[in-house]
Structure 1
């Protein structure tokens, strides 16, 4: 299967040559203007399917509020604000995303979720959140984002830096399928095209290994099979405490 996978991946890479060229000359940036609209529609369907797992996960958010304080949540790669409806009333939310064109859809989600207080939107990557102070955040949320950051370990180091002691990192991520499965095979074969369609998303990442190695004091991580197509069926879900 390994040899066949290599050949098929090479064929797909060749077919993606025009996309490679568009990316190389900088024209792919145009797509980033329209990607938020595409993701907004995808996210609506994703939330309907993953509503119960999200509710179960985010039910634990209030546990990380400081006594008498206001829970401060920072969301990495907030996108269109798909998680806002699951956040507890009264908490303060800081939104970050490297794509500034998400702001239009973010405003729409903010208007629909007035149970939250929105502090600011920061245009930044997960690897560099320098405008956020050390140990200033109660909870960092990251869903379907670690698949597209350039450096997962560095992003997790930034999470550790901005979390206060005892704060938590909540995550839901699709990950690589088990080796020697057809899902694993097709993830690798279609990855070159998938990367461009989903704005840098890599379905072949074993993200759980990075989370396990990040040095959190406590980690609650589960592998689940989400009810989606084979490319994004394997997920990890849970939270880690600093």
Structure 2
């Protein structure tokens, strides 16, 4: 028996949350400067209601310069049949060259500052619903850790950050230090949202911001979110989505979507993620929309809280 690579070095609390499974045999096997007026308000009021009594990213970062050298598949692949998280990850998101993963991690660290400044008000409102009862948190696509500062004050917190890009870890750990999150409270695991390396019914909250745009299978990822959440656990989300049908922005998104997937590590511009979250079978959900000026091509957003 062995656990996911790297889990043995984790604190005992984290190890108790991870899957432990026998290893299966190996498988055989523009940036675009556009300002568009979509006829929508520039911003909606960041107001979130209590969802129940239980109380990746944009990719528009200049990666196009490196993209022609990368072996990146741009079409959606079916989820691997194996239940082992490592096998599923290798099937859905094969490792990129180290230089590219570092390039992308650094681009995320440096290129998202204006976005984070504009989205901060929405995040502050959403993360305020996490209380000291939210002891165990899993963050999908943890990236460089921009969300840590919003929930690091929770007492006795344990955070598992899952991301397929191993180069994100050092940036995420630096963000954890800056947020005064105890070093022993944060663990980074390489993985994908479609096969979370965590036991069922163990998480008080799952957080995902700009993640579902890049996963291979949104519905499978949402089933995994529900699987790992405890009954009454919260799913906190912010995602960019397709613009209104028939709008100029929607036409541009549809035109550029294949290119976006290629240069931005699988990011899709035209997903109806809000509808998929609404249809995922959560016991209750509070979903709202927002329009951001700092990222015109992905301006339409959905955000909210779903309760298992």
Shorter-normalised TM range: 0.7 to 0.9
Matches for 1:57-136 after TM superposition, within 5 Å: 57-62=126-131, 65-66=132-133, 71-89=135-153, 90=155, 91-115=157-181, 118-129=185-196, 131-136=197-202
Q: Which residue matches 2:273?
A: 207
Per the TM alignment, residue 43 of structure 1 is displaced from its structure 2 partner at its CA by 2.5
Q: Give the superposition deviation at 1:20.
A: 6.8
Aligned with residue 56 of structure 1, among 125, 134, 139: 125
- TM-score when scaled to structure 2? 0.67
Greater displacement, 105-114 / 215-224: 105-114
Distance, in Å, in 2 between the alignment partners of 1:133 and 1:27 is 24
Alpha-carbon distance, 1:119 to partner: 3.6
How far the C-alpha of 1:24 sits from its partner, in A, is 5.8
Q: Secondary structure at the match of 2:207?
A: strand
Q: Which structure's residues are more often helix, by fraction? A: 1
Kindly provide the CA deviation profile for residues 116-136 of structure 1, in whole angstroms up to 9, marking residues without a partner as x.
Answer: 56241111000011x311100
Seen in structure 2, the aligned counterparts of structure 1 residues 27 and 214 have a Cα distance that, compared at 3 Å, is closer
**Distance in 2 between residues matched to 1:122 and 1:21, nearest whole Å:** 27
Gaps of 5+ in 1: 1-15
Asked if structure 1 preserves the Cα contact closer than 8 Å seen for 2:239 and 2:303, the reply is yes
* In structure 1, C-alpha distance between the alignment counterparts of 2:142 and 2:95, rounded to whole Å: 24
**Mean alpha-carbon deviation: is it higher for 102-111 or for 153-162?**
102-111
- The total of aligned residue pairs comes to 220
Match of 1:9 in 2: none
Which secondary structure state, in structure 1, belongs to the residue aligned with residue 162 of structure 2? strand
Residues 1:186 and 2:280 aligned together: no
Q: Secondary structure at the match of 1:238?
A: strand
1:153 is aligned to 219
What is the aligned-residue RMSD (CA, Å)? 2.2
Matches within 5 A, 1:3-22: 22=70
Q: How far 1:88 moved relative to its partner?
A: 4.6
Structure with more contact order per residue of length (Cα contacts < 8 Å, sep ≥ 6): 2
Q: Is the Cα–Cα contact under 8 Å of residues 98 and 123 in structure 1 kept in the other structure?
A: yes
Separation in 2, partners of 1:44, 1:229: 11
Structure with the largest fraction of strand:
1
Q: What residue number does 1:13 align with?
A: none
Q: For 1:160 and 1:24, locate their aligned partners in 2 and report how far apart those are by CA, in whole Å.
A: 29
Residue by residue over 1:97-122, the C-alpha shift from the partner in whole angstroms, topping out at 9 and shown as x without a partner, is: 01111012112111101145624111
Residue 220 and residue 101 in structure 1: after superposition, are their counterparts in 2 closer, same or farther (change >3 A)? same
State the Cα deviation string for residues 13-72 of structure 1 (Å, max 9, x = none): xxx9x957842699964522310000111222221111111111111111xx54xxx621
The two structures have a TM-score, normalised by structure 1, of 0.84
